[in-house]
Structures are given as structure tokens and as C-alpha cells.
């Protein structure tokens, strides 16, 4: 048994920042970036769910797909199941065990214990094992499975009522779980709090608490206790943060050990909260379209690196789509019953590869069994099934994917929650700043090409499901990120215990402080030392406090401001810093100051966004593409050029993984895929990307495209190629 191992148009100056350019020897990968190794590997797919029913944990033939003959005689399964069970893509996976109708049973003394299926000795030793315990540890049971107005008629009413009581008041015998862990060293976690931050919303915004009260699932005394404890009337994000913490703490009390919690969320970027609270595995769910999936990813990966956790990418295909007749259809793809619904096969396929390249330790496909087969009898593979097997085989052929190279840290406040949505969660300038960087890096809005093909186009927030471009079938989940590249992680600098931030921040060449941080002297001290020891810190004038003195920033705030082109600038006097860039009207835009072995860059437009008090409205304009942030874009181009080993020109997404033998350079064209409900996806050849690559600081002798195993020509350390709509290349550089 192996053991789990811990893991711009405005600027008139063309002056380049003064740091020495990084040479190839500078691209060193810190140990804390390397993906965690679990049972000898740093990547696992979740396989077909293993289901056990009743108190006796009855198995069934479908369990042979991922479990072989461990839980059910394989020879008794259908020929179709036997065929699939022999394929590594289905058996060589992490195991997800699910006990129904519930994951817990009541003991004679009134306590509860998890139902834990016995694992035959030596049958599952080489695979990570997870338990799906969401029916116990997820507060969504307060109303998730029924309409409160029709609760007494629901077939799930009794079940939901039991869950409400168990989640809130059940006393659990946690020793049962600990003993199970001692007997099965490859038992990693209970997946029991998925979409947990959504639940903190749902207590009040979806009336789940009110439903439980209305239908007497809670006594008046219990209802009052929950109302006070969870601050039901508080709909602010402070209230939501409090409820999220309470939900997490209750889950830990049920399980008995925070490190056994595997947790992810659907729309909010809160992996850092879960990791800080002690969760053993964190993750994100991607679904719908026109959402900032990459923003979710950099938050999860950054948190995983900061807190030393494995992380999971949960891929869903639920989407709001329209038919040719203009009918809205909301739903998910199912290869057996709804093969032309939901997100396109192409986007799902790209997401699998992108998650792998981004360093995810686990990938779980929602409703795995309902996606991959066209028949329950013969188990013939669907289109997605064929794509999945091809992807799995790629990961086995190329297990050393290297380490994602992310030299720039985006520092975000712990409790000002960022999301994948195209809006901010509170009307605050700090959140507007975070959003400006998000939409500038991940341009998740209709570009000029799309706008030109929609008659009478109007700018609309992309999170609206009835937008003109969604009705027309334009699809986007992942985005094209050139010229910046995928070189960012998100870190959290301001938790009360800052030890993990202090340890991780030296691993990044550049850090950009985003948001507002009142009264954070310890954080400021950490950042000062970071620069002193060689880091480059980007500050905005609105973030300068006494903790960042003049000899550190190299500038003095005069106290005066100036309005210019819709922006409010803080006026400064250099006291050692160099003004590297000015606006077209001569106002200091960026400054740079040497401090210790590092440097401090100061930006002067307040929070880097246009002046307003309606930051929420501003965020919606930004999500539509109507409003852009030229100063943010200018800053990013400068910084990324400093630390990127390569230069990539073209409408493309790109990123780099450092491997022992060289580099992987991936190139995704995420544009040109069209998907109407009820129809197969189509591809627009006019969205073909012409890509030019200058390997710049890397001396490349050979290039191989890994999916096709094709050798590619390199001339003078450069190459050109075309990448069709929805296509992608993974280049091995040596």
C-alpha cells in the first residue's frame, strides 16, 4: 500500500520597466507549485460511481464498471459492462462510493453513523477512495428536492425532513469514520459539501429555511435557534460568509475531521476559505457558458498551492440554450435521452484537457454514467465517451505533464468573494478593481466578430441567459488569453493566520495587490519583506498606507487628484521612484522604485477603474464588453512580457508547463464553436487562429504536437501554425 503524499493606447512613454529580463535559468519551479502526489500519481480521474443500497450495502452489476469484481461478480454482469470494465479508462480511476437511500443510519442510542461499504482486502489498494456523503453533510436538503409550497405532496418530503433534522441536530459517531480510515489507508475524503457556499446563499435567497419552518420540519424553538445562529435576516456578504463557515463547521462535526472533507463550489471562488478552515481537498465546478471558468481555476490552484492541498475540477454540462425557433431550453446533456442538450461536446473535451494542463489532481465528470454510453445494454461509447477514452489515454501516455508556470500572483482579499459570474458581489471599489483585472485577462464577452454578425447588436451583461449572442448560438466557456497567457494564480494575503501566505509569496516573481485591505500591518510587513528579497509588488495609490513608507514606494502622495478621461488620478511626487509611463496629458501613470533586491510599481488611477460610485453597474458594463480597462491592459502587457519565456501572437489561449525535459506549450482556440439546443455543434472556419510563436528566452531544438505525435518545424527559434475553431495543440518543446 502506498501512502498519500502531501503536494497602451493612452501612454505616450515607450519606456520599458527596468528589471533585467529573465533568462531560461530564471524559470525555476518552486516545490510548492508541484501538484500533490496521491498513491504514486499527481492526477486521477473519477470513474463511474459505485452505488450501495440499504443497510446491507447491496451492490449491483454497474459497480463492475469501476470496481471490477471487488463488489459484484464480474462474470454475472452483462457483456457490455464486462467490455467496459476491461478498459483502463474505466477501472484505473479514483473510486467514488455512494450509499443510498442515505449515507447514515441511526444507532440504538439515537446517534448516527455513516454507512461505510466494506472494501474487500487488496481489491482497491491502488486507488484513491472517496465517499459521497452529500445527503448528510449538505444543508441543501432544506428544500433542494421539493417545492416548499407543495412539500406535503412530494415523494421526498419524509426524506428531506429527516435530512433537515440530521444536518442540524444529529449527533454522529465519528469514530466509525476514523476506524474506516485506519483500515483503508487509501480512503481520502468524504465529498459532502459540494456547492457549500451556494448553500450559504440558499438559506435565505431560495427560502429553504422558510420552507422547513412552514412544513414543520423544525420546531419553533429549533427554527429560532437556526435563525439566530445562521443570521437568516442578514443577506449581506458578511452574513453569507458567516453562514458558509457555519455550514463547513457543521460538516466537520458530522465527519469528525476537517481533513476528510472534500469540498467544491459552483460559482463562488472560495477554495481559499475551505482550505483555511482545514478541508483536505478543494475544488471548483464549471457549468453553463459565458462564465469565467479560468477565474475559478486560478483561485482553486492558488489556494491549493498556498495551503498545500490537492484540488479537484468538477465538470458539468448544464446550460441555458435556445432552439432555432427561439425557445429557451435549460438542462443538461444525457447521451441516452438528451444527446443534443447542454454544452457542446467540443467544449467539454477542451475542458478535460485544460483541467489536466492546469494541474488539477482530480477530474470528476458530473453524471458520468449518463454521458458516455449510447446504450445501457451494449455500453457502446457516445461521442463524449470516445472523447473521454481518448483523453484518458493521453494522460496515461503523457503522465509527466509538468508544472503550470504561473509567475504572477493576483492577491485578493479573503472575504471579498470573487466569482465566475460577470458581476461583483458588493458595490465596492476594491471589488471593481478585482473585476477589472478578471475581465481584462479573461475576455468573456462578445468580440467584434460576434457583434458584427448579430443584427442590431446591443451590449448585454453576459450572465443574462437571454442575450442576443446566446440566442444566436455563440458558445464560450474557456477564453483566449493572448497576449498575456495563463500565467496567474490567485492568493489570499489577509487571513488572520498569515503563515501560509508568508511561505508561498516568495514563489512568485510578481504580485499584484487587488482590492482593499484596511488595518493589515502584518500583511504589509510580509509584502515589504517580499520585495526586499527580490519580489516585484504592484500597488495602487489607494492601497498605500503607513505600512508602505515613502522609501518603499519611492513616491509621495500630494493629496490632490485630477480627473482625466473618466479616471480619477492621485497626484504624486517621486522621492526615488522613476515615472516609467505617463498619460497622453502628462499625468504620472506608473512608477517603479528599487527596494532591496526587488521593486515596487505604483499605479495612480484610483483602483485602476473609471471614477464612479456605481461599481456594480460598472461591472455589468465590463461584462458586456462595452467598458474596457486600458490601463489594466497596458500594465498586464508590460508585466507579462517581463516574465513570459515565449511570445505568442494570435487570437489564442496559451500557457506553459515546465517539465523535467523542457516545456509544454498549449494553445487553445476557444472561439468559433456554435451550439443550438437540439442540434449538433458547428464550427465557423473564419475563426481559425493564425498563431506566431517566438520562443524568445527558450532555445528550442525540436517541437512535437503530443495529441497527434507530429513533429513540427522550427526556424530561427520561431514557428507559425493555424489552429481551427474549437481546436487545440499541446506542444512538447525540447
Is residue 220 very low, low, confident or very high in pLDDT (cuts 50, 70, 90)?
confident
pLDDT digits (tens, 9 = 90+) for 261-307: 999 888 899 999 999 999 999 999 999 999 999 999 999 999 999 99
List phi, psi (to 5°) of 478: -85, 160
Beta strands in 472-515 (DSSP E): 488-491, 510-513
Over range 542-561, report the average pLDDT.
Answer: 98
Q: Which of 52-61, 450-459, 489-498 has the lowest mean pLDDT?
A: 52-61
Cα–Cα separations (whole angstroms), residue 100 to 116, 236, 252, 275: 11, 36, 21, 28
How far apart CA 7 and CA 30 sit, in angstroms, is 11
User: Of 198, 188, 231, which Cα lies nearest the Cα of 97?
Assistant: 188
DSSP H/E element including 531: helix 521-532
Model confidence band, residue 23 (pLDDT cutoffs 50, 70, 90): low
Buried b (16+ CB within 10 A) or exposed e, 418-456: bbbbbbbbeebbbbbbbbbbbbbbbbbbbbeebeeeeee
The beta-strand segments (E) located in 634-715 are: 647-649, 653-659, 662-668, 673-674, 682-683, 689-694, 703-705, 710-712
pLDDT score recorded for residue 526 = 98
pLDDT tens digits, residue range 477-526?
Answer: 999 999 999 999 999 999 999 999 999 999 999 999 999 999 999 999 99
Question: Which segments within 192-286 are labelled E, that is strand?
Answer: 261-265, 281-286
Query: Residue 12: how many CB atoms within 10 A of its CB?
Result: 13
- Mean pLDDT, residues 678-690: 97
Mean per-residue pLDDT for 24-46? 90
Range of weakest confidence among 139-148, 199-208, 346-355, 362-371: 139-148
C-beta atoms surrounding 6 within 10 Å: 10
Taking the C-alpha atoms of residue 140 and residue 504, their distance in angstroms, rounded to an integer, is 34
C-alpha dihedral (306, 312, 318, 320), degrees to nearest 10 = 20
pLDDT band at 340 (very low <50, low <70, confident <90, very high): very high
pLDDT for position 16? 39
pLDDT at 587 over 90: yes
Region 448-468 average pLDDT: 94
d(CA 251, CA 399) in angstroms, rounded, equals 34
pLDDT(627) > 50: yes
Rounded Cα gap, residues 189 and 191, in angstroms: 6
In angstroms, the CA 214 to CA 383 distance is 46
Q: How many C-alpha atoms does 404 have within 13 Å on its Cβ side? A: 27
Q: Is the pLDDT of residue 409 over 50?
A: yes
Looking at residue 9, what is its pLDDT?
32
Interatomic CA distance for residues 561 and 540, integer angstroms: 14
- Looking at residue 26, its pLDDT comes to 65
Q: Domain 407-642: which CATH class?
A: alpha beta
Percentage above 70 pLDDT, the chain: 92
| Residue located via cell numbers 446517534 | 111
Quick check: 140 pLDDT over 50? no
| Sequence-ordered list of residues with C-beta below 8 angstroms from that of 233, at least 6 positions apart, any chain | 204, 227
* CA dihedral (604, 609, 615, 616) positive or negative: negative
Looking at the chain, the whole-number percentage of residues with pLDDT higher than 90 is 75
Q: Which CATH number fits domain 646-733: 1.10.1040.10, 3.30.70.2080, 2.60.40.1180, 1.20.1250.20?
A: 2.60.40.1180
pLDDT at residue 4, as a whole number: 36
715 pLDDT more than 90: yes
Match 527559434 to its residue by C-alpha cell: 717
- Give backbone dihedrals phi and psi of 320, rounded to 5 degrees, phi first: -100, 110
DSSP state of 691: E
Cβ-contact 705, 731 below 8 angstroms: yes
To the nearest whole number, what is the mean pLDDT of the chain? 91
Task: State the pLDDT at residue 153.
Answer: 62
C-alpha cell at 579: 515615472
Residue 385 has pLDDT above 60, yes or no: yes
Strand order in the sheet with 689-694: 647-649, 689-694, 718-723
Higher-scoring residue by pLDDT: 522, 224: 522
321 or 4: which leads in pLDDT = 321
The answer, yes or no, to whether residue 214 has pLDDT greater than 60, is yes
The number of residues making up the chain comes to: 734
Angstrom distance (rounded) from CA 61 to CA 123:
17
Whole-structure pTM value: 0.94
The residues spanned by each domain of the chain are: 94-265, 407-642, 646-733
Instruction: Output the DSSP codes for 641-654.
Output: HHH-SSEEESS-EE
> 371 or 170: which carries more pLDDT confidence?
371
Q: Is the pLDDT of residue 71 over 80?
A: yes
Dig out the grid coordinates for 218 from the structure: 423544525
**Helix/strand/coil (H/E/C) assignment for every residue in 562-625:** EEECCEEEEEEEECCCEEEEECCCCCEEEEEEEECCEEEEEECEHHHCCCCCCHHHHHHHHHHC
Residue 439's pLDDT band (boundaries 50, 70, 90)?
Answer: very high
Amino acid at each position: 500500500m502506498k501512502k498519500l503524499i502531501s503536494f497602451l493606447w493612452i501612454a505616450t512613454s515607450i519606456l520599458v520597466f527596468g528589471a533585467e529580463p529573465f533568462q531560461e535559468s530564471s524559470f525555476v519551479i518552486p516545490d510548492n507549485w508541484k501538484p500533490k502526489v496521491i498513491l504514486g500519481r499527481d492526477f486521477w480521474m473519477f470513474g463511474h460511481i459505485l452505488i450501495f443500497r440499504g443497510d446491507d450495502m447491496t451492490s449491483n452489476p454497474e459497480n463492475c464498471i469501476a470496481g471490477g469484481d471487488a463488489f459484484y461478480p464480474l462474470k454475472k454482469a452483462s457483456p457490455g459492462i464486462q467490455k467496459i470494465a476491461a478498459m483502463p479508462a474505466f477501472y484505473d480511476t479514483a473510486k467514488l462510493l455512494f450509499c443510498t437511500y442515505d449515507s447514515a443510519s441511526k444507532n440504538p442510542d439515537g446517534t448516527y453513523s455513516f454507512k461505510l461499504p466494506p472494501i474487500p482486502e487488496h481489491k482497491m489498494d491502488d486507488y484513491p477512495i472517496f465517499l459521497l456523503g452529500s445527503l448528510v453533510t449538505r444543508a441543501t436538503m432544506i428544500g433542494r428536492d421539493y417545492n416548499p409550497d407543495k412539500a406535503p405532496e412530494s415523494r421526498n418530503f419524509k426524506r428531506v425532513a429527516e435530512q433537515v433534522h440530521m444536518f442540524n441536530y444529529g449527533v454522529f459517531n465519528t469514530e466509525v469514520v476514523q476506524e474506516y480510515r485506519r483500515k483503508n489507508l487509501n480512503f481520502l475524503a468524504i465529498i459532502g459539501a459540494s456547492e457549500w457556499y451556494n448553500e450559504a446563499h440558499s438559506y435565505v435567497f431560495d427560502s429553504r429555511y422558510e420552507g422547513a419552518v412552514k412544513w414543520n420540519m423544525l420546531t419553533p424553538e429549533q427554527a429560532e435557534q437556526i435563525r439566530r445562529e445562521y443570521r437568516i435576516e442578514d443577506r449581506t456578504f458578511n452574513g453569507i460568509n458567516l453562514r458558509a463557515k457555519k455550514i463547513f463547521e457543521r460538516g466537520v462535526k458530522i465527519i469528525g475531521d476537517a481533513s476528510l472533507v472534500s469540498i467544491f463550489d459552483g460559482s463562488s471562488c472560495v477554495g481559499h476559505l475551505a482550505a483555511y478552515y482545514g478541508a483536505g481537498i478543494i475544488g471548483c465546478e464549471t457549468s453553463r457558458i459565458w462564465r469565467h471558468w479560468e477565474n475559478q481555476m486560478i483561485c482553486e490552484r492558488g489556494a491549493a498551492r498556498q495551503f498545500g492541498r490537492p484540488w479537484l475540477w468538477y465538470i458539468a454540462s448544464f446550460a441555458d440554450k435556445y432552439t432555432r425557433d427561439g425557445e429557451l431550453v435549460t438542462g443538461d446533456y444525457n447521451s441516452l435521452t438528451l444527446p443534443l442538450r447542454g454544452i457542446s461536446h467540443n467544449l467539454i473535451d477542451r475542458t478535460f484537457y485544460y483541467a489536466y494542463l492546469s494541474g488539477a489532481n482530480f477530474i470528476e465528470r458530473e453524471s458520468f454514467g449518463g454521458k458516455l454510453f449510447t446504450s445501457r445494454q451494449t455500453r457502446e461509447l457516445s461521442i463524449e465517451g470516445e472523447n473521454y477514452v481518448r483523453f484518458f489515454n493521453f494522460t496515461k501516455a503523457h503522465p509527466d505533464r509538468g508544472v503550470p508556470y504561473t509567475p504572477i500572483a493576483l492577491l485578493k482579499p479573503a472575504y471579498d468573494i470573487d466569482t465566475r459570474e460577470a458581476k461583483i458581489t458588493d458595490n465596492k471599489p476594491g471589488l471593481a478593481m478585482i473585476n477589472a483585472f478578471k475581465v481584462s485577462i479573461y475576455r468573456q464577452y462578445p468580440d467584434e466578430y460576434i457583434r458584427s454578425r448579430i443584427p442590431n447588436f446591443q451590449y448585454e451583461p453576459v450572465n443574462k441567459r437571454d442575450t442576443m449572442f446566446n440566442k444566436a448560438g455563440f458558445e464560450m466557456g474557456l477564453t483566449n488569453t493572448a497576449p498575456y497567457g495563463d500565467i496567474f494564480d490567485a492568493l489570499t494575503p489577509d487571513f488572520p493566520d498569515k503563515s501560509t501566505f508568508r511561505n508561498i509569496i516568495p514563489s512568485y516573481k510578481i504580485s499584484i495587490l487587488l482590492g482593499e485591505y484596511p488595518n493589515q500591518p502584518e500583511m504589509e510587513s510580509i509584502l515589504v519583506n517580499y520585495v526586499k528579497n527580490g519580489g516585484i509588488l504592484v500597488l495602487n495609490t489607494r492601497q498605500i498606507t503607513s505600512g508602505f513608507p515613502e522609501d518603499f514606494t519611492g513616491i509621495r502622495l500630494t493629496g490632490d487628484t485630477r480627473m482625466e478621461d473618466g479616471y480619477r488620478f492621485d497626484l504624486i511626487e517621486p522621492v526615488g521612484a522613476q515615472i516609467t509611463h505617463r498619460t497622453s496629458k502628462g499625468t504620472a501613470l506608473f512608477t517603479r522604485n528599487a527596494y532591496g533586491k526587488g521593486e515596487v510599481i505604483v499605479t495612480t488611477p484610483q483602483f485602476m477603474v473609471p471614477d464612479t460610485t456605481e461599481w456594480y453597474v460598472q461591472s455589468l458594463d465590463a461584462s458586456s464588453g462595452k467598458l474596457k480597462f486600458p490601463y489594466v491592459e497596458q500594465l498586464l502587457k508590460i508585466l507579462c512580457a517581463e516574465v513570459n519565456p515565449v511570445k505568442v501572437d494570435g487570437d489564442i489561449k496559451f500557457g506553459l508547463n515546465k517539465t523535467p525535459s523542457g516545456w509544454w506549450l498549449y494553445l487553445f482556440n476557444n472561439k468559433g464553436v456554435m451550439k443550438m439546443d437540439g442540434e449538433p455543434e458547428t464550427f465557423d472556419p473564419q475563426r481559425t487562429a493564425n498563431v506566431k510563436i517566438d520562443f524568445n528566452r527558450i532555445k528550442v531544438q525540436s517541437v512535437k504536437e503530443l495529441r497527434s505525435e507530429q513533429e513540427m518545424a522550427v526556424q530561427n527559434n520561431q514557428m507559425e501554425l493555424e489552429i481551427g475553431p474549437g481546436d487545440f495543440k499541446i506542444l512538447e518543446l525540447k
